[in-house]
Structure 1
Amino acid sequence: MVFRISGLSLPLVGLLAFLTVVSAYSETYVGCSSIGAALAGDQVTATSIAGCNAACAAAGYTYAYFANPDSNSNYCGCFSEGPASGGNRDPESGFTDCGNDQSTVYALATDYNFIQCYSSPSSDDTTSQITNDACWDHCKTYTNALFQYASNHFNCICSNVAISSDGSAETCSRSAYFAYSHTPFSSPSLADRRRRRLERMKREQLVMNRFCPSGLEACKVPGSEDSFECIDTSSELESCGGCLYGSYTNATASAGIDCSILTGAALGGTTCSAGRCEISACQDGFKLVEGRCH
């Protein structure tokens, strides 16, 4: 299925900025959630946490949920907002291992780095915030930001005390404080300018995600720099497994295949299924062997 949307363009500078921003952002652990939470997001194909993070960031999202309940199932849900205050679950093992029966949640658009979870940390500033992002923003002039999931809010602590010497490290459970560090800004004005820059970058990311409906990819149209097609590359015969002429939003995406011109394949004897060409009939003089015409 193909939708053609002509006349819509993103300035080259904006596109390059988007590609740079994705690689500059830090991937930061924010906890465990349910498998259902991952399924509620826009789904992309991924087989690992790192792959899910990369796919969601490339699609313009700021949060990624990955779950693999068994060897045959992987779920990667992309979101533009972080988890709800009451949505955290205890890890299955270790300090942060969410295991196979839960989703692992990462933030993709913050300069904060996850350190560890702690109990009873010191505080220079304690507040209640609606989201974890709001806590990070509130603590922008401090070295550390720590938040605790509560029933309908986040308990937020800002601190300049070295996290390694403060409090007791513990499993990242519902009652723990998730501790993060970053390079603080020396004045609120600098922090505000940086916050506005991050918000602008996030908006640029989200613009990329609005090009095509969920499940379709924006593909370049040959001969027209200002046009693209929204294609389901999982089933499109002439652009199977990716964009034949390149992705409009992801310069590093793998190119697709035109299944209709496979060597030896009969006219109408090919289909695209799950992003792979499948041959059902060959031309005279060719024989179908292990899915290929020889």
Structure 2
Amino acid sequence: MLPRMMFVLTTLTLLSLTQAATFVGCVLSLTVSLTAQNGARVSNQNACNTRCIATKFQYSYFTANTLLGTINCYCDNVGTYVASSSYLVGSSSDPSSCLDTSQATATDLRTTFNFEGCSDTLTGVTIDVAQGTILGGAIVQDPHACFQRCAGNGNAYFIPIAPSITALLPTYGCVCDYSGSGTAGTCGILEFYRYTHSATASQNAQARKREVESLAVKESGKSFCPKQMISCRVPGVEDSWECVDPQADLESCGGCTSGEYKDSGFINFTATGQDCTDMPGVLMGGSTCTNGDCVAFACKRKWTLRDGRCVRGRS
């Protein structure tokens, strides 16, 4: 047991070296105080990062030199990260340094990417502010979503896009593995934030992480769901699943229809089951799941019930 646990600890150490806190912008402190979570007073940026990592958040926001007694550290997650309209121009001497009291330093706490500076433009990439779209890239919900999208590439660029009349919601643009030319710029809204990492190192880190998770599951006997049930992915809801009985569940008969969460944390997106309510020719409420197999017992007009299936045409 001891050697295996030492392997887990060693691998976790390697992961911590691979993934580090990375600057992702200067944002309006007032917005952060209204929308972020887990606020506290801390001594410095590192203390803020440590606090948010310990509580399993994806982002930290730290504002320097605030009045004594005021909150200067907040945490946030993917999906609730500040709107792109909160991005501001920071220090003129250091692109990763934000202005005291009025600006918060936003940090992605777990990524393999490193900040390299900002660019005004990228040749071949066009931002349509009126429509809130990007030609030559993709729209994402926050910086970390861009890093995930570009995980297998050598570089990543994200850009905070301001809202407009026809695109009321602020958005972020993302460009992966850009190889063209760009012009250096001052970080802020409608500027490209550039990041690089070793794609090989990232892939190796992901493989090591899966090994650690798999071994930890085996050692602890962890299971997402009770015996004889499986954890099926909930479509449209990130990192969510529900426990179903594949032998009897009407909408996940025989397996998951939208992917299955494995004990290792890996998601198998392949459909392994069937939605019995979607059987051809079946009348609403006219099907059941028996021993992992969809069985029809009532058919629509002009369909015939035959061996638990509805067949078009009359017998």
Q: TM-score range by the shorter chain?
A: 0.5 to 0.7
- CA distance 1:38–1:18, shift in 2 (3 Å): farther
Give the equivalent residue in structure 1 for 2:225: none
Structure 2: how far apart are the matches of 1:111 and 1:66? 21
Report percent identity of matched pairs.
23
* Aligned-partner residue type, residue 159 of structure 1: D
1:180 has 2:184 as partner: no
Q: Distance in 2 between matches of 1:116 and 1:74?
A: 29
Instruction: Give unmatched runs, 5+ long, in structure 1.
Output: 1-11, 205-294
Q: TM-score, normalization: structure 2?
A: 0.49
* Mapping 1:110-189, distance limit 5 Å: 110-122=111-123, 126-150=137-161, 151=163, 152-161=170-179, 166-185=181-200
- In 2, the alpha carbon distance for the partners of 1:123 and 1:197 equals 37
Residue number in structure 2 paired with 1:79: 76
The Cα shift of 1:127 comes to 1.8
State the shift of 1:32 in Å: 1.6
* Per-residue CA distance 1:116-165 (angstroms, 9 max, x = gap): 01121246952222232222122222211001112332111112538xxx
Alignment correspondent of 2:104: 103
Is the deviation greater in 98-107 or in 51-60? 51-60
Equivalent residue for 1:34?
A: 28
Distance 2:65 2:185 in 1: 25
Deviation at 1:105, TM superposition (A): 0.5
Q: Which has the higher relative contact order, 1 or 2, with Cα contacts under 8 A spaced 6 or more apart?
A: 1
Partner residue of 2:89 out of 85, 91, 101? 91
What secondary structure is seen at the aligned counterpart in 1 of 2:189? coil
What is the deviation of 1:64? 0.4
CA RMSD of aligned residues (A): 3.9
Distance 2:26 2:81 in 1: 9
CA pair 105-128 structure 1, distance change in 2 beyond 3 A: same
1:67/1:170 CA distance change after superposition, 3 Å: same
User: How many Å separate the matches in 1 of 2:61 and 2:11?
Assistant: 21
SS in 2 for 1:61: coil
CA distance in 1, matches of 2:38, 2:8: 22
Higher Rg of the two aligned structures: 2
1:190-236 CA deviation, whole Å, 9 max, x = no partner?
A: 599659849x79xx9xxxxxxxxxxxxxxxxxxxxxxxxxxxxxxxx
- Partner amino acid for 1:78? C
Question: Match of 1:42, as an amino acid?
Answer: N
Q: 1:68 to 1:15 in 2, by over 3 A?
A: farther
Q: 8 Å contact 1:115–1:180 — kept in the other structure?
A: yes
Does the 8 Å contact 1:22/1:58 carry over to 2? no
CA displacement 1:259-293 (0-9 Å, x = unmatched): xxxxxxxxxxxxxxxxxxxxxxxxxxxxxxxxxxx
Q: Distance in 2 between matches of 1:15 and 1:123?
A: 45
Structure 1 46/119 Cα, relative in aligned 2: closer, same or farther at 3 Å? Answer: same
Determine if the alignment matches structure 1 residue 53 to structure 2 residue 53: no
Q: Where does 1:6-21 land on structure 2 (aligned, <5 Å)?
A: 16=9, 20=13, 21=15
Indicate the residue corresponding to 1:280 in structure 2.
Answer: none
Deviation per CA, 1:59-96, whole angstroms, max 9, x where unpaired?
32221001135352451111222633424321242133
Match of 1:132, as an amino acid? P
TM-score (structure 1 length as normaliser): 0.52
- Asked if the contact 1:52–1:65 (Cα under 8 Å) also holds between the matched residues in 2, the reply is yes
What stretches of structure 2 of length at least 5 have no aligned partner?
Answer: 126-135, 164-169, 218-315
- How far apart are 1:183 and its partner, in Å? 1.0
